Structure 1
Amino acid sequence: MTAMLLATAMGASAGSDANGQPPYRFDFGDGPVAPSYIGVRAEDAYTPEKGYGFNTPEHMSNVPASGTGTDSDAVRFLQFGTKSTNTFNVDLKLGLYRISVTLGNTSRATVAAEGVYQVLNLTGNNATDAFEIPITDGQLNLLVTEGKAGTAFTLSALEIKRVSPKPETSPTIWVGGDSTVASYYPLATSAQGGWGQLLADHVDLRAHQVRNIATGGQIARGFRDGGQLETIVKYAKPGDLFLLEMGINDTNPKNETTEAQFKEIMRDMVRQVAATGARPVLVTPQGRATDFNAEGVHSATGRWYRRATLALAQEENVALVDLNVLSSAYFTQIGREATLELYMPGDSLHPNRAGAAELARLVAEDLERQQIRVAAH
């Protein structure tokens, strides 16, 4: 009955799945409802008869947003957290779904569903992204939560489309790391980039999806204990890859992580992911743009606890992409000035979009060299 009510609300739609189920499109806020969308106000509580709504609408509010159409208004989550019950619920058949989200006005926010992170640190008003999620219990439970303390966490629009009746994620390349790996928004045009954001350009997307769980400022302990690893362990399976790059922020004295501690935290993450049947791959961070010697050779082998990462790869018998050395060879080849042009202005650490694209290329090429197939053949 619920599916019939939702389908009736949506009407027949191009893009229906193989069973004729149209995508569900929700327009949040108290403004006009866009054509072919279901309007949802903050006060709309979930009911089994309706099949969608907020679990605790008393903790939601309607707010304006800066865009047009569906993006002109939004709802704000007043209570949040990955384990919060203040969720937007939608009854769904068992299966694998693609969830497309558009936020309202926010400076940094994260999307969670089923109690774990899904898309991290979206920035800018009306930021958009998408993810796949298996529904095994008949209901999606989604909320927008904290990416940065003190900012608003809002949702303007949501599209839900079933891509398979089998509730299992597609073969996935999971990526963990810090700001040199993370995604930046808008995804297609951001000035700054992380190699995890651009990796999909070098992957056969018919064979794998890429899920980038990296975030700026992250350290190994934070990634393991703060919920990001939890997402990967929840969904990872045989045939998946887990690319993990850490060390830049771990070496900062304020994070109080010795090289020995870093190594054991990384070992724990490698073993947890390996236990799911997925394949861990360690990646060393590239150096700074300024790591050239007087002869014009770029070298950063002493940075970012690289030695611990190399030793760990050998001890745990896992693959290693030594991006530190690979990127240095590339930077030496192109020279100082061209290397600086691959980094953000006045910043010797963070690559711009072009720099991130080159780093992603180096990672993908080295995986292929090691016969870890990710590219189209």
Structure 2
Amino acid sequence: MKWKKGLTGMLLAAFLCGAPGVGIATPAHASAGEYKFDFGGGTVETGYTGVSASLSYDSARGYGFRTPENMRNVSASVRFLATGTKSENTFDVDLPPGLYEVSVTLGDTSRSSIAAEGVYQVINMTGNGAKDRFQIPVTDGQLNLLVTEGKEGAVFTLSALEIRQLSSNPVTNRTIYIGGDSTVCNYYPLDSSVQAGWGQLLPEFVNTNTFQIRNMASGGQIARGFHQDGQLEAIVQYIKPGDYFILQLGINDTNPKHNESEAEFKDWMRDMIRQVKAKGATVILSTPQGRATDFNANNVHNAENRWYRSAILALAQEEQTPLVDLNVLSSAYFTSIGKNATLALYMNGDTLHPNYGGARELARLVAQDLKRQGLSGF
């Protein structure tokens, strides 16, 4: 069965697109700067342009795969055989310079990431048919997009792509970038996942007329990995004055298997802070919340000695960055609601990872504290 395409209400209906058929490529020059592509060898959904894995880019057509030999049609989508954000195995679309909103729908895949212009755009989309969107400035007349593995050994497929021009000015709206781990990152579907990270729910507490949210957090991440694996690179490429970068790490960094001392953690974090501040943006540090079971005999929740918190506090002071001490804020909230209500905010049988409701409460605490500190948009 074909995956349902698109995000409801996001795109208009005026397109010159492919009629239903089997992998038929038709002109995609769309009215009002909008484009819709349906990938794979099956029936093309109404209103979309069909794109088979064998379709090579052609300048007269204005779209196609740069290396179709590295593509395969699979189950109502296409599979990318080459991996990595720097791969030339891209789907290219000619676009006038400007700012675009790109919506992606994955096919049958367990975990995939989206890259464009050589850097990550969406990290670790999980589950079949997962959907997400992002803003991207196009300055060279062409969007170059690919799907790459979210974890080693996972297949990476693309089912649908929708592109809408927001402005002729190729500059993103004010943006809140988020870095972190599994307690922060997105889970899918974004609006109904069982597990969630607080970065996923932050848009509920942010003025989205002012900001877009780009959550670049990923499960299992440590400071060295976020710095070295491409997530920081993507942020530094686009971040600008007026943007925020909220950074929360430390939980996985304390695991001995990562061989990252507190001093090394602090050094990686400091370099990330300085790189982003050099771009004129504001860095905000956050400490991680504790476990659901961090209650003492007096039913007070306290986790202040966890997750390299002291290094984060020191960095905030040394680098003159705002700090959200979510560790303390969440403990105060958990104490106020008690043990049972706190456990109900976490995944079943898991005292570390919040569920959707728990992530919402953590996001609320983050936003409230940023508003208290006078940062705009919350």
Pick the TM interval, shorter chain.
over 0.9
Q: Please give the residue correspondences for 1:140-179 in structure 2 after superposition, counting only pairs within 5 Å.
A: 140-179=143-182
Which residue identity does 2:253 align to in structure 1? D
Q: Which residue of 1 aligns with 2:3?
A: none
Query: What's the counterpart of residue 36 of structure 1?
Result: 47
Give the root-mean-square deviation of aligned CA atoms: 1.3
- Give the Cα–Cα distance (whole angstroms) in 2 for the partners of residues 7 and 337 of structure 1: 53
**Residue 335 of structure 1 aligns with which residue?**
338
For residues 143 and 315 of structure 1, the distance between their equivalents in structure 2, rounded to whole angstroms, comes to 39
**Residue of structure 2 equivalent to 1:355:** 358
1:57-110 per-residue CA deviation (whole Å, 9 max, x = no partner) reads 00000001xxxxxxxx00000112100000000000000000000000000000
Structure 2 residues without counterparts, runs of 5 or longer: 1-13, 20-29
Q: Secondary structure at the match of 2:114?
A: strand
Is residue 2:255 matched to residue 1:244?
Answer: no
1:45 to 42, 48, 56: 56
Q: Deviations over 1:312-332 (max 9, x none)?
A: 000001100000000000000
Confirm or deny that 1:370 pairs with 2:373: yes
Shift of 1:178: 0.2
1:228 and 2:239 aligned:
no
1:7–1:22 Cα contact (<8 Å) kept: no
Counterpart Cα distance in 1 of 2:33 and 2:306: 51
Shift of 1:22: 4.2
SS at match of 1:156: strand
Letter in 2 for 1:292: F
Separation in structure 2 between the aligned mates of residue 272 and residue 89 of structure 1, nearest angstrom? 30
Equivalent residue number for residue 186 of structure 1 = 189
Question: Is 1:88 paired with 2:91?
Answer: yes
For residue 307 of structure 1, the aligned residue among 306, 310, 318 is: 310
Identity of aligned residues (%): 63
Q: 1:63 aligns with which of 45, 70, 74?
A: 74
The Cα shift of 1:149 comes to: 1.1
The match for 2:4 is: none
Instruction: Report the Cα offset of residue 374 of structure 1.
Output: 2.1
Cα contact 1:243–1:280 (8 A) shared by 2: yes
Alpha-carbon shift at residue 9 of structure 1 (Å): 4.0
* Counterparts of 1:97 and 1:10, CA distance in 2: 22
Using the alignment, how far apart are the partners of 1:151 and 1:235 within structure 2? 28
2:208 and 2:109 mapped to 1: Cα distance? 30
Give the Cα separation in 2 of the matches to 1:331 and 1:359.
10
Give 2:246's aligned amino acid.
Answer: L
8 Å contact from structure 1 (residues 10, 22) kept in 2: no
Q: Is the 8 A contact 1:103 1:156 kept in 2?
A: yes
- Check whether the contact 2:39–2:52 (CA below 8 A) recurs between aligned residues: yes
Normalising by structure 2, report the TM-score.
Answer: 0.92
Gapped runs of 5+ residues in structure 1?
1-5, 12-18, 65-72
Question: Aligned match of 1:111 in 111, 114, 117?
Answer: 114
Alignment partner of 1:102: what SS?
strand
Partner of 2:142: 139
Query: How far, CA to CA, are the matches of 2:16 and 2:130 in structure 1?
Result: 29
TM-score normalized by structure 1? Answer: 0.93
After superposition, the C-alpha distances for 1:167-218 in whole angstroms (9 at most, x for unaligned) are 0111000000000000000101000010000000000000000100000000
Q: Secondary structure at the match of 1:282?
A: strand
Separation in structure 1 between the aligned mates of residue 226 and residue 17 of structure 2, nearest angstrom: 41
Letter aligned with residue 39 of structure 2: F
SS of corresponding position for 1:21: helix
Aligned counterparts of 1:352 and 1:187: Cα–Cα separation in 2: 12
Deviation of 1:373 after TM superposition, in Å, equals: 1.6
Q: Which amino acid aligns with 1:212?
A: N
CA distance in 2, matches of 1:322, 1:44: 51
Determine the C-alpha separation between the residues in 1 that align with 2:303 and 2:199: 21
Q: Which residue of 2 aligns with 1:15?
A: none
Q: Report the equivalent of 2:288.
A: 285
User: Are 2:198 and 1:195 aligned?
Assistant: yes
Aligned-pair CA distance for 1:21: 2.0
SS of residue matched to 2:351: coil
Q: Is the CA contact 1:91–1:139 (under 8 Å) kept in the aligned structure 2?
A: yes
Q: Partner of 1:141: helix, strand, or coil?
A: strand
